[in-house]
Structures are given as C-alpha cells and as structure tokens.
Structure 1
C-alpha cells in the first residue's frame, strides 16, 4: 500500500507540481517579490498537473522496463481526469492573473511545445526533428515559470539578482535534462526525436554537461551580495549532488532515480531553504 501511494504521488505528477511551487516560493524569498503569490502558486500547480498528465497520456507503454510507463498504462483514465482537473484549475487561476496575460501566456506556449511532438498529427510531429529541441524546451519552461515569470508578474524583471538566479536555474536544470537525455536515448531514436545526446558526440556532451554545472555553481556564488550566505549554500548543494550522481544516472534507467531524485534536485535548495527558515 505504501508503494502504491508513493507511485500515485510520484507518477500522477503531484510531486513534480509541488517541486515547481517550492521553486517559485524560493524565487519569491530570494528576490523579495511582492504580488499575489497564492494565486500564482495555484496556477502553476494546476498547470503542471495538466501538462505532465497530458504528456504522459500521449506516451505509449513501449518500453517494458519503465515503472512509470507501466503505471500510466494501468491508470490512463486517471491521467485523463487529472489532465482535465489541471486544465480547469489552470484556466480559472489564469483568469485571476489576466492582468499579466502576455507574460503568463509565454509559459503556456513553452509547455505546449515540449509535449507537441507526441501529438499524432503532422502539424506537430515536425517539432521532433528540431535538434536539441526537447532539452531546450523543457529547460526553458522550467526556468521561465519558476524564476523569470514571478519577477515579471511582480514587475521587477530586470534586476541583477533576477538575471543571476535565472542563469543559475537554467544551468542546473539543463544539466539535469542532459542526464534524462542519456536515459531516453533509445526511446528518442525510435520516436525520431533529436536531442543533444543524438546530436553531439559523448566527449562534447560531457563538456557541455559539466560546463552547465560549473555555470550553475558560479552564478550561485555571484548571488552572494544579494542573499544570505546560508541561501547561497542551499543553491550550491543540488549542483554538488547532481555532479556526484552523474555516473550512476548515466548507467541507470531506474524511474525512481530520475523522477524522484533528479527531478527533486531542482527543488532541493528550496526545501533546504524552507527548513532553515523553520529552524
């Protein structure tokens, strides 16, 4: 029963939706943003539920080793229900944020572009031919929604601290996405989706991966003048853990490693930050 509940929490995309909310909470804390935060949290939560269940509903169970694909195959109706609930919630809270419709619409477009290649129609399948598209779309939408969009909604997008945090988040998420590309190599080839790992040779890809981690660490350090020292450390911790997990991630297809640990690393600094404030 415990495993079933955990699989529901993880594979229904409730977990990744909470990760998104935590990352936005940390953005608000680090950048001292003032706006209707609760409405924005709920918009992102329901939007993430909607987009991820839409994505996985369109993903066929063709790779028998995946626990997540098996779960999705058994719970397709549930994913459809979550997609509808998420869509309705997202529309409702989007209306509450309509004063910022242009900035918020950017997140909708980016999210759609990530899943669009899975739609069985020629109009969308061409997106799968774009080199490194999947990685950039996913990194872009996570960085935009969790870091830049809150600053845009709060009408403070061009401060130095915003730029530094955006680059830090982008670099960390990009490195994590490269690890997912390693894992998805065979499935992407079968679906005709071009990613970094199918476009670059392995030495060049490793250089790009470690450069992204280095960039994430450097820009976390550059946040020093704007945030407390413990906050800087919280930004550094997931960068270090990601580096330490590199070899294991490159040689493992374990769903729990990717969808719980690696996805969770995006929000780990936020969780640690929250615990520090509680202490």
Structure 2
C-alpha cells in the first residue's frame, strides 16, 4: 500500500487528476459544456511531463524529502512517466482547436523558463527568483485550468475574470505553503521567497488574507448570480485550505503537501 501511495502522489498522477478536476470546475462555474477529451488528455499529459522532468533534473540537496528519495530510487519509472506524458500531449494535439495553440505556446514558454536556465542573460531558471517563482507558477496553473478550458466565445467576461482571479489567489496560497515548507532550503541557496523575506509568521498571515479575498470574490459572484451551491463550494475550499495550513504547522512532510 505504501508503494502505491508513493507512486500515486510522487509520480504526478494525483496532481494531474487535480488539474483535470480544476478544468472541470471552471466549465461548471462558467456554465460551459465539458471540453473535448483531448483537452483533458493534454492537461494530464503536460502535468506528468512537466513535473517528472522537473524532479528528474532537479539537483539533490542536503534537505532530504520523501519525494526526493522516491525520485532518486525510481529513475526508470520517471523516464517512463516522461514518455507517457509526452505521448499523451502529442496525441491530444491532433484534436485541439487552432485557438488553443496560442495558449499552448504561452504555457510551454512559462514551463520551460520556470524549470530550465534558458534565458541567455540569466544562467538559472526562473524558479530561483523568489517572487517571480511563486507568481509564475500560480499564473501557469491559472492559465491551464481557467484560460485553456474557457478559451471560447460567448462567456460572461465578468464571471470569467472572477473565476480567473479566484483561481490565481487559490494557487498562490498553495504555492506559498510550499515556499514555507522549503524556507530553510531556499534561504541556504539564496532564493528570496516570500517566507524567506517575511518569515513564517507573516507568511501565514498573508495566506489567511488571500483566503479572505478569495471568499470575498466568491461573495461578489454570489451577489451577481445568486448561486449558493457555487458559493458554498468555494467557501468549503477556503475552509479546508485553512485547515490544511494549520495541519502543516504540526505535520511537515511531503504526504501532507
């Protein structure tokens, strides 16, 4: 059971399913029809590819973690997952609509610059720039799970931007939690993330503030649409996230994150 759990969590299968679920959430919140299967195939495949490439080439460090240990022990598995992700991504391209390719170009550039030192004047990936790291990662997740599935005509733009902003804030809070977890490592390697700059106490307060803004934006949408089930779902997401934040203060391991 432990081996299956490690594989499910650390192979990026779980986070790939989360990405698909967030895409579905976007279509539900905006009243759109479910996207073609190729869209979800692309999102899942791209997630597998990006995360496994990231951890495959990530430098090992003295701050050991369950995920790092799994990655080191399962190189062949990671190569297979990279191949699977690339294959799913290529397969989906044959069915995606032309308008999607502008989104894909933006996403590919962001993902590449985040993980690899491709800029000629900067000899390191953008993930090593603290504030830029969290902003780019939050934006990339928002583009994948909001812009990509909602990239079509006839949607209410006010609702769209409320969903976009809420998703960005939600992902920013989650990324902030990861930065808090990695605070000691980032400080040791000179990466000035928000927790390194502000400290843990102020970072936790910032996360709480962003969750309050998330709920307020949901309340604005409730006033516009009178859709209480959607508001309750967003409120529950904020409450569960707040509960998880409290949990990470006591249990700080990769299984929680």
Give yes or no for TM over 0.5: yes
**In the alignment, which residue of structure 1 is the partner of 2:220?**
222
Which structure 2 residues correspond to residues 86-235 of structure 1 after superposition, within 5 A?
86-97=85-96, 99-100=98-99, 101-116=101-116, 124-125=123-124, 127-128=126-127, 130-152=129-151, 154-156=152-154, 159-202=157-200, 204-224=202-222, 225-226=224-225, 228-235=227-234
Moved over 6 A (4+): none
Deviations 1:136-157 (A, max 9, x none): 11111111110122212x2356
Tell me, in whole angstroms, the C-alpha distance in 2 between the residues paired with 1:194 and 1:140: 19
When you count helix as a share of all residues, which structure comes out higher?
A: 1
CA-to-aligned-CA distance 1:176-201 (integer Å, 9 cap, x gap):
21111110112223444332112334
Provide closer, same or farther for how the CA distance between residues 104 and 128 of structure 1 changes in structure 2, counting only shifts above 3 A. closer
Structure 1, unmatched stretches of 5+, are 259-279
- 1:209, distance to aligned residue in structure 2 (A): 1.9
* Cα-to-partner distance string for 1:90-146 (whole Å, 9 max, x where unaligned): 1331343250211222222222233225x8x98551635534122111111111110
CA RMSD of aligned residues (A): 2.4
Is the Cα–Cα contact under 8 Å of residues 161 and 223 in structure 1 kept in the other structure? yes
Change (3 A) 1:250 1:181: farther
| Shift, 1:49, TM fit | 0.5
Sort the Cα spacing of 1:60 and 1:223 in 2 relative to 1 into closer, same or farther, 3 A: same
**How many residues are treated as equivalent by the alignment?**
254
If asked which structure has higher relative contact order (CA below 8 Å, sep 6+), I would say 1
Please say if 1:256 is aligned against 2:251. no
Cα distance 1:94–1:146, how it changes in 2: closer, same or farther (>3 A)? same
8 Å Cα contact 2:27-2:34 kept in structure 1: no
Q: TM-score, normalised by structure 1?
A: 0.82
CA distance in 2, matches of 1:149, 1:214: 26
Name the TM-score, length of structure 2 as normaliser: 0.88
Deviation at 1:12, TM superposition (A): 0.7
CA distance in 2, matches of 1:27, 1:34: 10
Contact 2:54 2:115 in 1 (8 A): yes
Q: In the alignment, is the contact (CA less than 8 A) between 1:161 and 1:226 conserved in 2?
A: no
CA distance in 2, matches of 1:30, 1:157: 11
Q: Is the 8 A contact 1:12 1:79 kept in 2?
A: yes
Whether 2:83 is the aligned partner of 1:84: answer: yes
Q: Distance in 2 between matches of 1:96 and 1:204?
A: 46
CA distance in 2, matches of 1:126, 1:192: 14
